[in-house]
Structure 1
Amino acid sequence: MKTFDTQSQQVIELAQFCSDKGWLPATSGNLSVLVDKDPLQVAITRSGADKQRLKREDILLINEKMEVLGDSPFRPSAETRVHIELYRKYGCGSILHVHTVFNNLIGELYGEQGGVQVKGHELLKALGHWEEAAEIFIPIVPNWADLDKLGQSVAEHAIHDVPAVLVRAHGIYAWGDTPDAARRHLEAVEFICEYLYRLRLVRG
Structure 2
Amino acid sequence: MYPFNQAVESLLEIAHRCAQKGWLPATSGNLSVRLNGHPLSMAITRSGCDKACLKTEDIIVVDERMQVMSGYAGKPSAETSVHVGLYEKFPDIACILHVHTIFNNLLSERYFSISEGTGHISFAQHELLKALGHWEEKASINIPIVPNYANLERLGQAVTEAAYRDVPGVLVHRHGIYAYGESPEAALRHLEAFEFLFEYHWRLNQAASS
Settle same-fold status: TM greater than 0.5: yes
Report the counterpart of residue 127 of structure 1 in structure 2.
132
Cα deviation, residue 141, structure 1? 0.6
The TM-score normalised by the length of structure 1 is 0.97
1:151 aligns with 2:160: no
In structure 1, what residue type is equivalent to 2:109? E
Aligned length: 204
Measured in 2, the distance between the counterparts of 1:109 and 1:196 equals 11
1:165 aligns with 2:151: no
Aligned residues with identical type, % of pairs? 55
Q: Is the 8 A contact 2:169 2:180 kept in 1?
A: yes
Cα deviation, residue 96, structure 1? 0.1
Report the counterpart of residue 200 of structure 2 in structure 1.
195
Measured in 2, the distance between the counterparts of 1:168 and 1:58 equals 27
SS of 1:106's equivalent in the other structure is: helix
Measured in 2, the distance between the counterparts of 1:83 and 1:191 equals 23
Cα deviation, residue 159, structure 1? 1.8
SS of 1:33's equivalent in the other structure is: strand
1:64 aligns with 2:69: no
SS of 1:136's equivalent in the other structure is: strand
Measured in 2, the distance between the counterparts of 1:110 and 1:85 equals 24
Measured in 2, the distance between the counterparts of 1:50 and 1:184 equals 22
Measured in 1, the distance between the counterparts of 2:2 and 2:103 equals 34
Measured in 2, the distance between the counterparts of 1:62 and 1:96 equals 16
Query: Where does structure 1 lack aligned partners over 5 or more consecutive residues?
Result: none
Following TM superposition, the consecutive aligned residue runs of length 4 or more in structure 1 with deviations greater than 3 angstroms are none
Aligned-residue RMSD, C-alpha: 1.1
SS of 1:97's equivalent in the other structure is: strand
The TM-score normalised by the length of structure 2 is 0.95
SS of 1:81's equivalent in the other structure is: helix
Post-superposition CA distance 1:19-41 (Å, at most 9, x none) = 11110000000000011111111
Post-superposition CA distance 1:40-73 (Å, at most 9, x none) = 1100000000101111110000100001012333
